[in-house]
Structure 1
Amino acid sequence: MPELMEKVEEDAVPDSPFLPADTVRLTADAVDQSKVEAFEIFIRAGVHASQGSRTYMEDAVTVEEDISSFLRREQAEVVGSCSYFGVYDGHGGTESAEFVRDRLLPNIISQESFPEAIGKSMHDAFLQTDAQLRDTEGVKSDNDFSGTTAIAIFLSESTLHIANCGDSRVVMSSRGKAIALSSDHKPTMPEETSRIKAARGFIEDGYLNGQLGTGRALGNWYMDLKDDSPDGTPGPLTARPDTSSRDVCEGDEFLLIACDGLWDVFSNQNAVEYARQQLRVHNDPQTCSEELVKEALRRNSTDNISVVTVCFSKDPPPKREFKDERPASFRRTLSQESLSSLHRALSKESISSLMKPLDLSES
Structure 2
Amino acid sequence: MTSHKIGVNLRVSGNCNQGGRKYMEDTHSFKFYKTDGKDYDFAYFGIFDGHGGAEASRFARDNLLDEIIKFDSFWSDNDEDVLWAIKSGFLDTHHAMWKELDKWPKRLSGYPSTAGTTCSVAFVRNSKIYIGHVGDSAIVLGSDVGKNNAIVMKADCLTKDHKPECPHEKKRIESSGGEVVAKSGVQRVVWNRPKWNHKGPIRRSTPIDKIPFLAVARSLGDLWSYDYITEEFVVSPEPDVSVHKLDPSIHKCIILGSDGLWNMVSPEEAVSVVTDLEYHFEDRVVYDPSATVSYWINPAERLVALSLRKWKARGLRADNTSSIVVFIDPLGPSRLTILRKKREEHFAKLREDMRIKALSKAAELEF
**Do both share a fold (TM > 0.5)?**
yes
Give yes or no for the alignment of 1:263 onto 2:265. Answer: no
The residue type equivalent to 1:57 in the other structure is: M
**1:225, 1:237 within 8 Å by CA — same for their partners in 2?**
no
Which structure's relative contact order is higher, taking Cα pairs within 8 Å and 6+ residues apart? 1
Aligned counterpart, 1:287 = 298
Aligned counterpart, 2:205 = none
* Residue among 163, 180, 188 paired with 1:207: 188
The residue type equivalent to 1:83 in the other structure is: A
Aligned counterpart, 2:42 = 82
Aligned counterpart, 1:243 = 241
The residue type equivalent to 1:132 in the other structure is: A
Question: How large is the RMSD of aligned CA atoms in angstroms?
Answer: 2.5
Structure with more strand by fraction: 2
Deviation (angstroms), 1:268: 1.5
Aligned counterpart, 1:107 = 67
- Cα distance in 2 for partners of 1:191, 1:171 equals 23
- Cα distance in 1 for partners of 2:172, 2:101 equals 26
Percent identity between matched residues is 28
**1:226, 1:238 within 8 Å by CA — same for their partners in 2?**
no
- Cα distance in 2 for partners of 1:226, 1:273 equals 47
Q: 1:151 to 1:40 in 2, by over 3 A?
A: closer
Q: 1:105 to 1:40 in 2, by over 3 A?
A: closer
Aligned counterpart, 1:55 = 22
- Cα distance in 1 for partners of 2:163, 2:63 equals 25
Give the 5 Å matches for 1:216-255: 216-225=218-227, 234-249=232-247, 250-255=249-254
**2:130, 2:242 within 8 Å by CA — same for their partners in 1?**
yes
**1:46, 1:286 within 8 Å by CA — same for their partners in 2?**
no
- Cα distance in 2 for partners of 1:222, 1:306 equals 26
**DSSP-derived class of the 2:278 partner:** helix
Q: 1:286 to 1:99 in 2, by over 3 A?
A: farther
Q: TM-score, normalised by structure 2?
A: 0.68
Give the 5 Å matches for 1:1-363: 41-64=8-31, 66-68=32-34, 71=35, 73=36, 81-116=41-76, 117-143=81-107, 144-175=113-144, 176-205=153-182, 206-209=187-190, 210-225=212-227, 234-249=232-247, 250-282=249-281, 287-300=298-311, 302-313=318-329, 315=335
* Structure 2: segments with no counterpart, 5+ residues: 1-5, 108-112, 145-152, 191-211, 283-294, 337-367
* Structure 1: segments with no counterpart, 5+ residues: 1-38, 317-363
Q: TM-score, normalised by structure 1?
A: 0.68
**DSSP-derived class of the 1:197 partner:** helix
How many residues are treated as equivalent by the alignment?
Answer: 267
- Cα distance in 2 for partners of 1:200, 1:124 equals 23
- Cα distance in 2 for partners of 1:271, 1:278 equals 11
